[in-house]
Amino acid sequence: MNDEQLLRYSRHILLDDIGIDGQQRWLDAHALVIGAGGLGSPVALYLGTAGVGRITLIDHDRVDLTNLQRQIVHSLDRLDQPKAVSAAAGIAAINPEPRVRPLIARADAALLDELVPQADVVLDCSDNFQTRHLVNAACVRHGKPLVSGAALGFDAQLSVYDSRGGRFPCYACVFPADQPPPEQRCAVMGVLAPLVGIIGSMQAAEALKLLAGMGSALPGRLLMLDGRRMEWTDLQVMRDPHCACCGAPVPLPPSTPAPTPASTPPSPSTAQ
């Protein structure tokens, strides 16, 4: 690290849990961010300001005036630009150091199979159930931790899905792909702008902790925020041994008590 980096990152380096080693891990790390919208905005900004060395941003969409109410990485002078490109510019305006790769694309299975193995952590900031499952499946296949957030209206949720070691659930254990929610998008439903800021900031925090080697306390927990009452619900979520995505290929022996999945799966928010 040079003198400018020591200065720029000093308030992180001062933290005992991070220090020079943690900062160096961020400088050497690669984060993959799916979606550069409401959740992706604070994620991109905080990963960028923290100095995460490589950030790959995927978004197929362009910046629209209706986005600027909450998608704070974009700006009025970047209207109509691809969101991934605009977000890269937003990071560079604060910290030009990270190598940001903007990809103007939809996150399909083939692209994810190319990108997820290269990443140290994946952040799902997408806005639909199908993409969430594609991202989750790629993270399970390639053994990468997934920091997942969602927000719609006044409600939001957050978790970390880390199926490595077979201890914790993946996204599909909690929200089975064959039980899709009614498609709800903030284009129709609306979303309270700071809610995506709250959840996106928490996603960035969890990703930074994972990258710094501090781990995350969120695997196996689903945090749900009622933004009207400002109340958090902290649900324990279990791995489903029969999960179509991460389930064991062979049945558990009868003597082994199987963990029970959440009996009433919470409803996934799908918008951002």
Q: Which is closer to Zn ion, CB of 57 or CB of 170?
A: 170
What's the angle, vertex CA 132, arms to CA 204 and CA 159, rounded to 5?
Answer: 45
Q: Which is closer to Zn ion, CB of 58 or CB of 246?
A: 246
Shortest CB 39 distance to Zn ion, Å: 22
CA dihedral in degrees (152, 158, 164, 168; nearest 10)? -110
Helix (H, G, I), strand (E, B) or coil at 219: strand
User: Whole-angstrom Cα distance, residue 127 to residue 129?
Assistant: 7
For residue 77, what is the DSSP state?
G
Q: Are residues 243 and 136 in contact, defined by beta-carbon separation less than 8 angstroms? A: no
For residue 237, what is the DSSP state?
-
Please give the structure tokens belonging to residue 170: 């993946």
User: Whole-angstrom Cα distance, residue 106 to residue 97?
Assistant: 26
Question: Where do contacts with Zn ion occur on this chain (CB under 5 A)?
Answer: 170, 172-173, 243, 245-246
Q: Is 125 an annotated catalytic residue?
A: no
Residue number closest to Zn ion, CB atom: 243
Closest CA to 71 of 114, 40, 35: 40
Q: Which is closer to Zn ion, CB of 18 or CB of 246?
A: 246
Catalytic residue among 125, 139, 173, 186: 186
Shortest CB 3 distance to Zn ion, Å: 46
Q: Which is closer to Zn ion, CB of 173 or CB of 186?
A: 173
Shortest CB 101 distance to Zn ion, Å: 29
Shortest CB 240 distance to Zn ion, Å: 6
List the catalytic residues.
186
